Amino acid sequence: MSFCILFTSAGGQALHLIHLPAMSKVAENSPPETSVHTFSVKLSASLSPVVPGFPLIINSSPLTQAFRVNWLSDTDFEVVTTGMEQLDFEEGPHTFDLQIYVKDDVAVTDLQVLTVQVTDVNEPPEFQGNLAKGLDLYIVEGTKPGFVYQVEAFDPEDTSQNLPLNYLLISPSKSFRMSANGTLFSTTEFDFEAGHSSYHLIVEVRDSQGLGASTELHVNIVNINEEIPRFTSLTHMYTIPEELSLGSIVAHITAEDPDDRGFTSFLLYSITTVNSYFMINQLTGAIQVARRIDRDAGELRQNPVISLEVLVKDRPSGGQENRKQITFTVEDINDNPSTCTKFSFSIMVPERAPRGTSLLDLNKFCFDDDSEAPNNRFNFTTPSGVGRGSRFLQDPAGSGKIVLIGDLDYENPSNLAAGNKYTMIIQVQDVAAPYYKNNIYIYILTSPENEFPLVFDSPSYVFAVSELSPPRTRVGRVQATDKDFPQSRITYSISAGGASQRYPNIFWINPQTGELQLVTKADYETIPVYILRIQATNSEDSSSVTVTVNITEENDEKPICTPNSYFLAIPVDLKVGTNIHNFKLTCTDLDSSPRSFRYSIGAGNINSHFTFSPNAGSNVTSLILATRFDYASGLDKIWNYKLLVYITDDNLLSGRKRAGALVETGTVTLSISVIPHPTTIITTTPKPRVTYQILRKNAYSPSAWYVPFVITLGSMLLLGLLVSMIVLLAKETIQINTVFDGEATDPVTGAIYEFNSKTGARKWKDSLTQMPKWKESSPPGAAARRPVPREGTRPPRSTDKGRDGLSIRVHAEGAGLGPRSQASMPSTPRE
């Protein structure tokens, strides 16, 4: 560190320090604020005061924080110790050069040096470590007199340890002495039992000038364990009853130790014999019950004698010990009541069981666990309970043998009043005090015979349900009964019938109530009549009945027309009334007459150019141009028409018997394009185009050699993957093309064709295998009924009543059918 000090004068005499430079002395280990040197400041001619904070020590040699400058007045100052560093003559510097710097308000400065010398002060000796706080020493009794301990102290003034120190005992003792060099000797042989167990000594150390220090020594005499303990309890045989509570004291073992002072003033007791019945308090010698002592179980049932060995020691490990043998004899008490393997018996007795039949022998189930008589003997009390007197008896009395003596006919009114259930209570009891008792409950139930069959309340059932009825609609209910008592629950199930083309069964019967419900909607056109076989079953019998369910016909089918969608192109000058391209709609409805159709055109028929003729009363109608096109005047502006045709089956609604008859509507989509006159020129304005030319330059760097390598390698891997995928696809295509894995039905003709679900390839199925089979005509007098094809001979009907004709068209197109000609002949399936 360097300072630039400017000495200036103001009008004459300069600022300077008085009594500096100088030399001063200070004693080592001086406390803080000890005065070292006093000096003054002579102000300059301007009498400018000293700046607060000055004078100050700006540097020292060696560096130290042990000094600072204190103000005494405006011109008087004092150098004092700070206490931040200990001034130690033996280990620290002896001289410090302090540079004292002063400055006034006008920046006039002065710098002088104060030399401080540290003087030596004699310090007393010191004990080090634990010895300074006092020390505990131990001497075993019987040790011969001699060396005990070497006491050592340290003199701070003698760093080379050349000056001798003098040691002595402040408190004289007959049993100890100390040499001048600090060696502690014992002068007698100690006896723990005859003398003191500890001694308190004060040791003092002094240097050559008489300064000293002292510390304490605590000498403890360690007792020696010499004698074995002696038992004072004389009893060896004990008799105890069984079933004592845990913790009960059954014996108290006592002993004494001749070495009864110091660390041997207590004894430890333990049981060396392996056993689980007893434990001993290791301090008091009390033997207690550790677990249940049961004379009637385990090894004690055969041998009620328990032998133990008790060990007493005067130390946990080592030391002296003694042993003693004791015996416990366990006596039997009547602590177990007479009991049985079960206390509740349920006996089923046939209603025709003869009198004198043995029902139960309680001796096979009851016992007493006590080991000795009379504690292990028992008998039975007289039975009690409702209905037992005239029907059951214990024979002989007290034997526990129950015999039938009455009538148990299930149909007997008195037995029915009792519910054919009988309860008896018998007590099993000890013959010795305290006469323990246990109740035994005997329940006797009469087992009835199956005498009546399970029958339905009708030999057959006939129900009717509308084909529009939703799922879970109630169809009817069947009921069966059984006159046998007690009556068991009857369960109903459908054993046969009820299957449709799409569902294994469209009916469900409640197994508890016998109520028949729909699982899904029925279809009159598919199956008008269902024959079901309903089975009723209980725990003993089963019975079946035939149920006929007639499906009531409803108008639930939409008209279906072919073609379902069509594209037509007509000249702009086509004459009004012309049948456009001889286009005709041919419509069918499974549940409506051909005369019930009405035709109307909805959205798309702008300016009403198109109509159908006839528009009602026929299932075949033609598309007619109703009004001419007028593009010249601006009346017509569009050239492409998309007509939505509605076909409704309500033309004969007024002639129906039911006013609430349903109406269904189908749809057909027609796309008509008007071809303008050849002289008509349609002008178009081309949009301006902007051509952008992008110039790219390949700036290849030789350091990027890996780029073409990676591109080439990736291309080869991609090419290999592409080739393998093509080979796999070719194999799969060849295999799929050779298999027709599905069948479908033409919704117009009802003909069946086969198709490949992967490639879409189709072919008509052999017509000989799909000839329809019609049911035989109804017998004379029966209601007229339309012919119903058998399963698999007609196209399946859609069950979604919400779909329109467009969905039917999509189905036809999905099956690969082309548009029909006027002769309504199906075209060849398209690839």
Secondary structure (DSSP) of 266-322 = --EEEE-S--SSEEE-TTT-EEEE-S---TTSTHHHH--EEEEEEEEESSSSSS-EE
Q: With a cut of 90, say whether residue 545 has pLDDT above it.
A: yes
Average pLDDT, the chain: 80
CA atoms of 251 and 235, how far apart (whole Å): 9
In what helix (H) or strand (E) does residue 710 lie, and over which residues does it extend? helix 706-737
pLDDT band at 128 (very low <50, low <70, confident <90, very high): confident
Please tell me the distance from the alpha carbon of residue 530 to that of residue 385, in angstroms, as a whole number. Answer: 58
pLDDT for position 382: 87
Instruction: State which H helix or E strand residue 347 sits in.
Output: strand 344-350
Three-state secondary-structure class, residue 712: helix
Give the integer Cα–Cα distance in Å for 741 and 750: 19
The band of 791, judged by pLDDT with boundaries at 50, 70 and 90, is very low
pLDDT in tens, 275-294: 999 999 999 999 999 999 99
The CATH number given to 455-552 is 2.60.40.60
| pLDDT value, residue 411 | 66
The single-letter code of the amino acid at 10 is A
Q: What is the pLDDT of residue 160?
A: 63
Nearby residues of 498 by Cβ (< 8 Å), 6 or more positions away: 505, 506, 507, 530, 532
pLDDT at 616 over 60: yes
**pLDDT reported for residue 473:** 92
Provide the pLDDT for residue 238.
95
pLDDT digits (tens, 9 = 90+) for 160-193: 666 788 888 887 788 898 888 889 899 888 877 6
The predicted pLDDT at position 272 comes to 94
pLDDT tier at 261 (50, 70, 90 boundaries)?
Answer: low
Average pLDDT over residues 293-307: 91
- Contact 185/147 with Cβ under 8 angstroms? yes
The predicted pLDDT at position 820 comes to 37
Helix (H, G, I), strand (E, B) or coil at 809: helix
Residue 12 banded pLDDT, cuts 50, 70, 90: very low
Is there a contact between 383 and 405 (Cβ–Cβ < 8 Å)? no
- pLDDT tens-digit series, residues 188-231: 888 776 767 788 888 888 877 777 888 888 888 887 777 788 89
Q: What is the pLDDT of residue 749?
A: 75
Sheet strands side by side (includes 401-404):
358-361, 401-404, 392-394
Task: Answer for the pair 520, 482: CB distance below 8 angstroms, yes or no.
Answer: no
pLDDT at 679: 56
Counting residues of the chain whose pLDDT is more than 90, the rounded percentage is 28
β-sheet with 135-140: strand ranges across? 135-140, 212-222, 198-206, 166-169
- What confidence category does residue 796 fall into, taking pLDDT thresholds of 50, 70 and 90? very low
d(CA 457, CA 444): 35
With beta carbons less than 8 A apart as the criterion, state whether 186 and 174 touch. Answer: no
Residue 356 — left, alpha, or beta (φ > 0 → left; ψ -120 to 50 → alpha)? left
Asked if residue 301 has pLDDT above 70, the reply is: yes
Out of 240-249, 444-453, 800-809, which region has the weakest mean confidence (pLDDT)?
800-809
Query: How does residue 15 score in pLDDT terms, banded at 50, 70 and 90?
Result: confident
Q: What is the pLDDT of residues 620-645, one digit of tens each?
A: 899 998 888 888 888 888 889 998 88
Element of type H or E holding 808: helix 805-814
Spatial contact of 45 and 140, defined as CB atoms under 8 Å apart: no
Q: Per residue in 725-739, pLDDT tens?
A: 999 988 776 665 556
Higher pLDDT, 802 or 16: 16
Q: pLDDT grade, residue 814 (50/70/90)?
A: very low
CA distance 372 to 392: 34
What topology is assigned to 560-675 in CATH?
A: Immunoglobulin-like (2.60.40)
In a 3-state reduction of DSSP, which class is residue 8?
Answer: coil
The token pair that represents 487 in the structure block = 């009556």
Task: Kindly tell me if the per-residue pLDDT of 655 is higher than 80.
Answer: no
Residue for token digits 């560096």? 63
Collapsing DSSP states into helix, strand and coil, what is residue 417? helix
Residue 13 predicted with pLDDT over 80: no
Between 755 and 216, residue with greater pLDDT? 216
SS3 string, 107-174, reads CCEEEEEEEEEEECCCCCCEECHHHHCCEEEEEECCCCCCEEEECCEECCCCCCCCCCCEEEECCCCC
Domain with CATH 2.60.40.60 in the chain: 15-117, 126-222, 230-331, 339-447, 455-552, 560-675
Q: What is the DSSP letter of 427?
A: E
Q: What's the rounded Cα separation, in Å, for the pair 260 and 231?
A: 14
Q: What local confidence, expressed as pLDDT, does residue 284 receive? A: 92
How far from chain centre, in Å, is Cα 308? 54
**230-331 falls under which CATH superfamily?**
Cadherins (2.60.40.60)
In contact, 17 and 110? CB cutoff 8 Å: yes
- The tens digit of pLDDT for each residue in 423-436 reads 889 999 988 888 89
- The yes-or-no verdict on residue 758 having pLDDT over 70 is no
Q: Which CATH class is domain 126-222?
A: mainly beta
- Of 60, 67, 50, which is closest to residue 109 (Cα–Cα)? 50
Using the predicted structure, report yes or no on whether residue 775 has a pLDDT greater than 60: no
Q: Is the pLDDT of residue 577 over 80?
A: yes
pLDDT over threshold 80, residue 35: yes
Helix (H) or strand (E) holding 579: strand 579-588
* CATH hierarchy code of domain 15-117: 2.60.40.60
Give the integer Cα–Cα distance in Å for 395 and 365: 17
Q: What is the CATH number of domain 339-447?
A: 2.60.40.60
